[in-house]
Amino acid sequence: MKYTHFANLKVPGPTKTPLTEPFWQAAAKGELHTQYCERCHSYVFYPREVCPFCWSNQLTWCQLSGQAKIKTYTTIWKPGHPSWAAVTPYTVGVIQLAEGPSMLALLLLEREQLEIGLPVSFKTINLGGQMMPAFTIPEDQYHDK
Amino acid sequence: MSRPKAAIIGVGELKPCRVTDGASTLGMLAQASVLALHDAGIDKADIDGLLVGPQVGETPQHVPATVAEYLGLQPSMANVVDLGGASGPGMIWRAAAAIEAGMCHTVLCVLGNHRNQDALRSPNRNPIREFDVPFGASGANATYAQLKQAHMAKYQSKDEDFALITQWARHNAQHHHHAIFNGKPCDANDVLQSPLIAEPLHLYEIVMPVAGAEAVIVTSVTRAQTINNPAAYLLGAGEKVTHRALSQAPDLTSGPLKPAMAHAFKQSNTSVFDMSLLSLYDCYTIMVALTLEDSGICPAGKFGDFIRSNTLGYDGSCPLNTHGGQLGFGQPDLAGGMTHVVEAVHQLRESATGRQIPSAKYALVTGNGATLSEAVALVLGSASVVLGKPGVGR
């Protein structure tokens, strides 16, 4: 696959906390999970101790559809962290999840495919041994495992 | 115009440089502070308030006490202002508020940074570090590239429009001998030919990081009248913080400066059309574009038309960042935001030698921090508009 060389990257991984661990455990299984507020019925990303909308602590974990749209993106030629130079150019973007929240993620699309508003779907990619969220065109159901 | 809230009586600025050899932040803060003190023509003993910025990698805590001790000050009010590029403007209204609250009467606001080879980075543990950095999106370039992308997609704005912002910044830098790009003008075509760093951002649309320091002394309006030095006056301020990570931003084509500027105009009873100078925070070309549109001086999406129909030099139809902005002057880290204050003070006191706007009356100063996250706007006025007579205190 085109992105298999990402598996050899030695880049800073996520600074997980006990609270966010369910997110990363789900990602390791190829799934996108986040918090849901039982009080105000909002989806919450990134994971928090309290709901940012109503300050309730009635947060539960749930799996999201993985359906999303590109809000914006950039193709990076000169990375902020030098370890990423091995895979330039690569693309990151802000993704609007169908359930509401936005998140940043890698975009596994060709440069000519990139477009704001484009529907994309969740997958995971192996970044130096860490399974990380990524998004691609919905037809591509391949998951790195 | 409303009652002035405070007076800025002294400014000090170090000439920026690309690298330093063993310099300390404290030492650079001291140098800029001495310049500001001499400019104000007051005694060190007159300073009884201190506002400083964070010092990543050097002094993680107790920064005000560390700076105060180094400078031999025993302030009655001391604090850190941690608003990224908005820290400098954020200090000015906080100084005025502290004076108004009776905590002190004369505040030193100082920011600076070295660029030694061995600069340490602090270890982070926060949502940005967990959910942005691991995707290869660390650093501001990736963020502002995405903001530019969103603007171009929504408004069909063109690369050429953004390139003109750099062209004017470099043009204005030719009139400031401190500017890192003094002697190095460039035109829009040079900008478009410069390498892509994070698409659609070109190298020349990004500030050059430099070492430097900026100091500003704020005192009460009453006290300013006793000092034999011209002052600029704080007439209004606004502040807004909306998010930290770009992914959590409420809007990608309008920022927290919009309400902050509206608040500053309301407080000062002015409008953007009253301004003699726009001193707008310009970490990237897109930041100037968004700020022009959020200020109301042109419609959303139309900054390109606005720039093409104006001249932005000190002698132009709409003077903008007459010191070159950070795109022309260089960005001394957190002190970069203070360069916009210092230039506005020079213009309003008529001490902008070689680039003086004739009869400058009002200046809009903006600061922007993090990822279009932290915003401060100030409206400053000259002695002539505040006191009704030019050159008071000279």
User: Is B65 at the interface with chain A, CB within 8 A?
Assistant: no
Does residue B145 lie in a domain region? Answer: no
* Residue among B146, B196, B197 whose CB faces A94 most closely: B146
For residues B234-246, average pLDDT? 97
For residues B373-389, average pLDDT? 93
**Euclidean distance between CA atoms B169 and B338, whole angstroms:** 16
Tokens of B358: 């004739």
User: Is B254 at the interface with chain A, CB within 8 A?
Assistant: no
pLDDT-derived band at B229 (thresholds 50, 70, 90) equals confident
Sheet strands side by side (includes B212-219) = B77-80, B49-52, B106-113, B212-219, B6-13, B232-241, B374-381, B362-369, B277-279
Nearest C-alpha neighbor of A74 from the set B140, B370, B187? B140
User: Is the pLDDT assigned to residue B89 strictly greater than 70?
Assistant: yes
Hey, of B122, B126, B131, which one would you mutate to test binding to chain A, going by the most A CBs within 10 A of its CB?
B131
Q: Report CB contact under 8 Å: B135, A92.
A: yes
Does residue A143 lie in a domain region? Answer: no
Q: How many domains does chain B have?
A: 1
* Residue among B136, B154, B245 whose CB faces A76 most closely: B136
Q: Taking the alpha carbons of A103, B292, B1, B344 in that order, is the dihedral positive or negative?
A: positive
CATH code, domain with B324: 3.40.47.10
pLDDT-derived band at B120 (thresholds 50, 70, 90) equals low
Please give the helix or strand (H or E) that residue B190 lies within, else none.
Answer: helix B188-193
Does residue B144 lie in a domain region? Answer: no
For residues B236-260, average pLDDT? 97
What range defines the domain where residue A110 resides? 4-136
ipTM attached to this prediction: 0.90
CB pairs under 8 A between A and B: 113
User: Angle at the Cα of B366 (from B139 to B200), degrees rounded to 5?
Assistant: 40
User: Is the pLDDT assigned to residue B296 strictly greater than 70?
Assistant: yes
User: Is the pLDDT assigned to residue A145 strictly greater than 50?
Assistant: no
Nearest C-alpha neighbor of B254 from the set B334, B387, B372? B372
Contacting residues for A55 by C-beta, under 8 A, at least 6 apart: none
User: Is B248 at the interface with chain A, CB within 8 A?
Assistant: yes
* Residue among A11, A17, A76 whose CB faces B142 most closely: A76
pLDDT-derived band at B387 (thresholds 50, 70, 90) equals confident
Does residue A92 lie in a domain region? Answer: yes
**Euclidean distance between CA atoms B185 and B247, whole angstroms:** 35
pLDDT-derived band at B261 (thresholds 50, 70, 90) equals very high
Do B191 and B161 touch, CB atoms closer than 8 A? no
Does residue A142 lie in a domain region? Answer: no
pLDDT of residue B391: 46
User: Is the pLDDT assigned to residue B394 strictly greater than 60?
Assistant: no
Q: How many domains does chain A have?
A: 1
Does residue A129 lie in a domain region? Answer: yes
For residues A35-57, average pLDDT? 96
For residues B287-303, average pLDDT? 98
For residues B279-305, average pLDDT? 98
pLDDT of residue B19: 94
Q: Report CB contact under 8 Å: B136, A116.
A: no
What range defines the domain where residue B39 resides? 6-117+208-382
Residue entry with tokens 């190095």: B184
State how far residue A23 is from chain B, nearest Cα, in angstroms: 11
CATH code, domain with A22: 2.40.50.840
Residue type, B261: M
Residue entry with tokens 């001394």: B332
pLDDT-derived band at B122 (thresholds 50, 70, 90) equals low
SS3 B312: coil
Nearest C-alpha neighbor of B274 from the set B304, B318, B308, B307? B318
Do B89 and B337 touch, CB atoms closer than 8 A? yes
Q: Report CB contact under 8 Å: A80, B139.
A: yes
Q: Report CB contact under 8 Å: A80, B195.
A: no
pLDDT of residue B392: 42
Does residue B61 lie in a domain region? Answer: yes
